[in-house]
Amino acid sequence: MKAMVLEEIAGIDTSPLALREMAVPEPGPGEVRLEVRCCAICRTDLHVIEGELPREKLPIIPGHQIVGVVDKVGEGCSDIREGERVGVAWLRHTCGQCLFCIRGQENLCESSRYTGYHADGGYAEYAIAPEAFVYTIPEAFGDTDAAPLLCGGIIGYRALKRANVPEGGRLALYGFGSSAHVVMQIAKHRGYSVYVVSRGEEHLELARAMGADWAGNDAADMPEKADSAIIFAPAGRLVPVALEMLEKGGTLALAGIYMTDVPALSYEKHVFYERDIHSVTANTREDGRQLLEEAAEIPIRPRITVYSIEDANRALQDLKNGTLSGTGILRVST
């Protein structure tokens, strides 16, 4: 099979992903094999490739928003059958026995493992995943519509939960990439007002076209303070900015797996009046199931840009440079 492989940590501007011919992997007990149709790219892929996350498996095939058709199942599989269209996301293993798993917080499991980081992902013609961690894709979505939901969508959904938006409330989004433009559709469907802060004019134009109640590059220009906010951009400097523009009793959710250092906060200006700060760590499988169900009802239609698998480096460069509108999709097969 052909695959785009990362052999050494490097800046994406050096095009470190190399096209390789590799053996087709075989599913082990409890695993399924997918013939990959497409895989969405994600900022977390950049964090892996450029070493902003601790180094794990190398060489590695990145990619953790995979849509494909199961072509082989391993021993012991009982729920997923050959021919089913399924999705594979970031979370691929938890122990199921620790305190966090038992109380419904499997995203905090110390034994958690991740697709495209601890194990090969979807920048390839075939991928392996544990049966217990794949999602059935609703018929409401085509392949390229479904792929952005499997990380950007799920993480955005969990961030929206963690933001505790009151009924009819005002939600501020900092950064308007893949996750944010999915959250925007959910938020508007729920009746929230949405304010978008972004440095990129193309992103602001997209936010306005999708129904943002206000969009600009300076949070101080928002028409009023937000009840809740989510920071998607991996920039710690935005934390005091977002808190200052948060209403009393409001909640700020930090959606990224990586963020630069947060500067000093003023207790009076940023934290007092019962403002809450909630980080977001991966997701649970229940988050994924809930997101796909609600997304199918709306239905969500992600904005996408399609690349060939061989153009994975260019797609990720576009993502890093802020020239990608919506979500980039690597098309592997039809």
* Structure confidence at residue 326 (pLDDT): 83
Q: What are the angstrom distances between the C-alpha of 141 and each of 40, 214, 298?
A: 14, 29, 11
Question: What is the torsional sign of CA 238, 239, 240, 243?
Answer: positive
Q: What are the angstrom distances between the C-alpha of 144 and each of 42, 67, 329?
A: 14, 8, 7
Do 30 and 121 have their domain in common?
Answer: yes
Q: Which of 241, 264, 279 is the last residue of a domain?
A: 279
At 269, give phi and psi (nearest 5°).
-80, -35
Q: Which of 235, 258, 279 is the last residue of a domain?
A: 279
Nearest in space to 213 (alpha carbons), one of 204, 177, 293, 259: 204
Do 249 and 214 have their domain in common?
Answer: yes
* Structure confidence at residue 256 (pLDDT): 87
Residue 95: Cβ-neighbour burial (10 angstroms; 0-12, 13-18, 19+): middle
- Reduce the DSSP state of residue 225 to 3 states and report it: coil
Q: Count how many domains the chain has.
A: 2
Do 143 and 290 have their domain in common?
Answer: yes
CATH of the domain at 110: 3.90.180.10
The crossing angle, in degrees rounded to 10, of helices 285-297 and 178-189 is 60
Do 220 and 247 meet the contact criterion of CB atoms below 8 Å apart? no
* Structure confidence at residue 134 (pLDDT): 98
Can you give the pLDDT of all 334 residues of the chain as single tens digits? 999 999 999 999 999 999 999 999 999 999 999 999 999 999 999 999 999 999 999 999 999 999 999 999 999 999 999 999 999 999 999 999 999 999 999 999 999 999 999 999 999 999 999 999 999 999 999 999 999 999 999 999 999 999 999 999 999 999 998 899 999 999 999 999 999 999 988 889 999 999 999 999 999 999 999 999 999 999 999 999 999 999 999 999 999 888 999 999 999 999 999 999 999 999 999 999 999 999 999 999 999 999 999 999 999 999 999 888 889 999 998 6
* Structure confidence at residue 239 (pLDDT): 98
Do 102 and 50 have their domain in common?
Answer: yes
The full 3-state SS of 70-124, as one line of letters, equals: EEEECCCCCCCCCCCEEEECCEEECCCCCHHHHCCCHHHCCCCEEECCCECCCCE
The Cα–Cα gap between 204 and 307 comes to 23
Do 112 and 21 have their domain in common?
Answer: yes
The Cα–Cα gap between 60 and 120 comes to 6
CATH of the domain at 273: 3.40.50.720
Q: Which parts of 215-331 fold into alpha helices (H)?
A: 238-244, 285-297, 312-321
Domain with 315 in it: 2-148+282-331
pTM exceeding 0.85 = yes
The Cα–Cα gap between 303 and 205 comes to 13
Provide the 8-state DSSP code for 302. Answer: -
* Structure confidence at residue 178 (pLDDT): 86
* Structure confidence at residue 194 (pLDDT): 98
Q: Which of 255, 279, 303 is the last residue of a domain?
A: 279
- Reduce the DSSP state of residue 153 to 3 states and report it: helix
* Structure confidence at residue 333 (pLDDT): 84
Do 34 and 98 have their domain in common?
Answer: yes
Do 136 and 56 have their domain in common?
Answer: yes
Do 267 and 291 have their domain in common?
Answer: no
Tally the residues of the chain: 334
The angle at the Cα of 201, spanning 225 to 14, to the nearest 5 degrees, equals 120
* Structure confidence at residue 334 (pLDDT): 66
**The tokens 């409401």 sit on which residue?**
140
